[in-house]
């Protein structure tokens, strides 16, 4: 079974600074998607960014970008110009035709 590992249970960043959240995954499949979800204190899961494995270009959504290293099976999330509203639990997720797996999450604190 595919596994998704988020090795940082907690991270903190100063407001306006940049932070990178790590995610690694294990798979033998070649066709899959990767996602980052944000879960703020309201607890609703919100999609932050998605990456198709066949695309070499890293996905970007405003202040959020990913560093997708397919050979290394790494999918990190970079948040630039961090804002107080970015404080949340962040989950990395792997999706293929056979599997949908979430990581255990990283709790991000933004310091004013």
33 is a site residue for other proteins (CB under 8 A): yes
Least CB distance from residue 91 to other proteins, whole Å?
7
Q: Per rule CB under 8 A, is residue 47 in the interface with other proteins?
A: yes
Residues 48-87 as x/- pattern, contact with other proteins by CB under 8 A: --x-------------------------------------
Q: How far is the CB of 106 from other proteins (least distance, A)?
A: 11
Cα-based angle 97, 106, 30 (whole degrees, multiple of 5): 25
Q: How far apart are CA 112 and CA 99, in angstroms?
A: 39
């Amino acid at each position: 079974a595919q596994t998704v590992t988020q090795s940082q249970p907690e991270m903190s960043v100063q407001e306006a600074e940049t932070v990178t959240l790590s995610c690694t995954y294990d798979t033998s499949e070649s066709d899959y998607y990767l996602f980052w979800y944000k879960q703020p204190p309201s607890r609703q899961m919100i999609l932050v960014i998605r990456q198709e494995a066949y695309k070499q270009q890293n996905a970007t959504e405003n202040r959020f970008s990913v560093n997708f290293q397919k050979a290394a099976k790494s999918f990190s999330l970079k948040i630039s110009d961090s804002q107080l509203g970015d404080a949340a639990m962040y989950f990395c997720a792997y999706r293929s035709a056979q599997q949908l797996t979430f990581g255990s999450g990283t709790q991000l604190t933004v310091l004013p």
